[in-house]
Amino acid sequence: MAFPILTAQEAAEVINNGDNLGLSGFTAAGTPKVVTEALAKKAEKEHAEGRPFKVNIFTGASTNDHVDGALARANAIDKRTPYQSSADLRKRINSHDANYFDLHLSELAQKLRYGTFGDIDVAIIEAAHVSDNGEILLGTGVGMAPTVAKMAKKIIIELNEAIPTSVEGLHDIYMPLDPPYRREIPIYKPNDRIGSTLLKVDPAKIVGIVKTNITDGVHGFSPLDDVTKQIGANVCDFLIGELRRGAIPASFLPLQSGVGNIANAVLFGLGESKEVPAFDMYTEVIQDAVVDLMEKGKCRFASTCSMTFSDAKMTEVFNNIDFFRDKILMRPGEISNSPEIVRRLGVITMNTALEADIFGNINSTHVVGTKMMNGIGGSGDFTRNAYISIFSCPSTAKGGLISTIVPMVSHLDHSEHSVDVLITDQGIADLRGKSPVQRAETIIENCVNPEYKPLLRDYLKLSQAGGHTPHSLNAALGFHSTFAAEGDMRKTDWSKFA
């Protein structure tokens, strides 16, 4: 092999304080696993000797504990974008130890190429194979690998022997031209292949190969609880209703679904439905449920950025790879999440809210308005350009102490203009074509938990004089301030906000 074999520690020595690091992968899938652990140890040693050591991390989406967890625990992250889901990093972000900025996933690769955030000093790319001339067979996720490999001054390959080379053919590597030379991205059907199966990099930039044998370590799903099942059933009922009235073509449309138990429940419900025909997905992540749907013939094809499967499911897929070869294409995030393609294909999008307000604005990211949860992820890329955009969430959180439907969202990620339908365990609010007051009435009657309905009906009365989108500016965040003071939004007393 043309490239030196390095230990993770030797590879970490290539990385300096203040470097911009670009990583392959999207979620835990396809994300490096050993060099960042060694880097965290190096940072701890530097800190112990009184020297500063932090790096800036640019990735496709969230990562894994080997990256965000290890580096956050070592307090070795300065800038971080565009999405994360690590409890340790979340603490660093909310205490201002790490400077996180939240970004639509489709935008980061192009913003890097535009020069917005400076150079990429080192790219760490997980691979199933690399040839002497620099052709890389990526692993279970792509993320921003093409862009960071192109921009990086140095490339470290993590050659992961847990990934069989039979994954060749599942990737579709394509990089759009940048303005002012940009043309359309030529995807007209979800399964149109537009790029190459391998990522070609300049071999002179590869400083070495670190061998690993570590799986992505994605956990399986917990059994669906009644609330999640009910949300899934409500989303299915809505989609079947649209199909029956002809608002969705009989051949159906491609689906995007976010991550987590609700997305899993929705896909499970669609798989069970006799009325929903076999469908395609144009999405950013596929999880275990999609494998089952493919095996049942219900999902024909999925365009994605990663295969975020549990280890058991991944083994099943690797063992039966020829069955999946024409059913999955993994693309860079700027293609899997491309607003242009989402709008062209008519993608029906399904994402999760932390909180929604009675007018249909969505907070996906900030717990009680200030504490970062994960980030906006790809939800905005899809929502804003959807054929129909759906948000769902349980009607309450923390055992009922929090109503997820509030008078005014405490942080805004998706505005009322982009949100078509809101669905909770209580029911469905179709917001399309409704004025703000009509939306509020529909959301309160159909989606709000019974314990909170009287309070929100009273809020609407209290604010009725207030114009097109009526609010009482004193009381608009009354649920949140009551929760902060008394730990229970049900104790809200509007007379205190008069």
Q: Whose Cβ is closer to ligand 0RQ: residue 58's or residue 83's?
A: 83
The arrangement of strands across the sheet holding 421-423 comes to 328-330, 299-304, 279-282, 255-257, 348-352, 388-392, 421-423, 428-430
Tokens 């990429």, located at residue? 120
Q: How far is the CB of 378 from ligand 0RQ (least distance, A)?
A: 4
Instruction: Report yes or no: 356 and 363 within 8 Å, Cβ to Cβ.
Output: yes
**Is residue 373 part of the contact set for ligand 0RQ (CB under 6 A)?**
yes
CA torsion sign, 92 to 94 to 97 to 100?
Answer: positive
Count of CA atoms in the C-beta half-sphere (13 A) of 104: 19
Dihedral angle sign, alpha carbons of residues 70, 72, 74, 79 = positive
- SS3 assignment, position 485: helix
User: Nearer Cβ to ligand 0RQ, position 83 or 459?
Assistant: 83
**Which residue's beta carbon is nearest to the bound ligand 0RQ?**
377
The CA distance from 222 to 402, in Å, is 23
What residues numbered 205-234 form the site for ligand 0RQ, per CB under 6 A?
Answer: none
DSSP calls for 93-114: HHTTSSEE----HHHHHHHHHT
Stretch of residues binding ligand 0RQ (CB under 6 A), selected from 160-168, 237-245, 364-372, 486-494 = 364-372
Among 141, 143, 360, 377, binds ligand 0RQ (CB under 6 A): 377
N- to C-terminal Cα separation, the chain: 74
Query: Which residues, including other chains, have CB under 8 Å from residue 31's CB and lie 6 or more apart?
Result: 23, 24, 25, 59, 63, 64, 66, 67, 126, 141, 143, 216
Whether the CB-CB separation of 423 and 353 falls below 8 Å is answered with no
CB of 203 vs ligand 0RQ, minimal distance in Å: 31
> Contacting ligand 0RQ (CB under 6 A), which of 378, 427, 470, 478?
378
Q: Shortest Cβ distance from residue 489 to ligand 0RQ (Å)?
A: 9
CA 382 – CA 418 distance, rounded (Å): 10
For residues 285 and 447, which CB has a smaller minimum distance to ligand 0RQ in the complex?
A: 285
Has 284 been annotated as catalytic?
A: yes
Smallest separation, CB 111 to ligand 0RQ (Å)? 17
Number of H helices, E strands in the chain: 17, 26
Among 287, 364, 418, 463, the residue binding ligand 0RQ under the rule CB under 6 A is 364
CA 145 to chain centroid, in Å, comes to 17
Least distance (Å) from ligand 0RQ to the CB of residue 87?
9
- Taking CB under 6 A as the binding criterion, the range among 211-219, 269-277, 369-377, 418-426 that sits at the site for ligand 0RQ is 369-377
The answer to the question of residue 354 lying near ligand 0RQ (CB under 6 A) is yes
Catalytic residue among 107, 242, 284, 334: 284
315 or 370, CB closer to ligand 0RQ?
Answer: 370
Tell me how far the alpha carbon of residue 208 is from its chain's centroid. 31
Q: How far is CA 422 from CA 59, 75, 273, 282, 393, in A?
A: 30, 39, 21, 21, 8
- Stretch 382-401 residues interacting with ligand 0RQ (CB under 6 A): 394, 397-398
402 touching ligand 0RQ, by CB under 6 A: yes
Q: Smaller CB distance to ligand 0RQ: residue 354 or 462?
A: 354
Nearer to ligand 0RQ, 75 or 287 (CB): 287
Of 423-482, binders to ligand 0RQ (CB under 6 A) are none
The count of C-alpha atoms lying within 13 angstroms of the C-alpha of 407, restricted to the half-sphere facing its C-beta, is: 28
Sole window of 216-224, 292-300, 370-378, 464-472 interacting with ligand 0RQ (rule: CB under 6 A): 370-378
Q: How far is the CB of 353 from ligand 0RQ (least distance, A)?
A: 6
Build a one-symbol-per-residue string for 247-286: x at contacts with ligand 0RQ by CB under 6 A, - elsewhere.
Answer: -----------xxx-x---------------------xx-
Interface region with ligand 0RQ, contact rule CB under 6 A, candidates 167-175, 217-225, 229-237, 377-385 = 377-385
CA-only gyration radius of the chain, Å? 23
- Piece of the chain touching ligand 0RQ by CB under 6 A; list 136-144, 375-383, 434-442, 487-495: 375-383
Give the total of residues touching ligand 0RQ (CB under 6 A): 28
- Distance of closest approach, residue 459 Cβ to ligand 0RQ, in angstroms: 17
Residues 52-111 that bind ligand 0RQ (CB under 6 A): 61, 83, 105
Told to check if 39 binds ligand 0RQ by CB under 6 A, we report no
Specify whether the CB–CB gap between 377 and 342 falls below 8 A.
no
Cα separation, 100 vs 96, whole angstroms: 8
Among 20, 64, 287, 352, binds ligand 0RQ (CB under 6 A): 352
Q: Please report the sign of the dihedral spanned by the C-alpha atoms of residue 425, residue 299, residue 282, residue 173.
A: positive
Instruction: Write the Ramachandran bin of 405: left for phi over 0, alpha for psi from -120 to 50, otherwise beta.
Output: beta
Q: Which of 103, 240, 367, 437 binds ligand 0RQ (CB under 6 A)?
A: 367
Q: Which residues bind ligand 0RQ (CB under 6 A)?
A: 27, 61, 83, 105, 258-260, 262, 284-285, 351-352, 354-355, 364, 367-368, 373-374, 376-379, 394, 397-398, 402, 404
Write out the catalytic residue numbers: 284
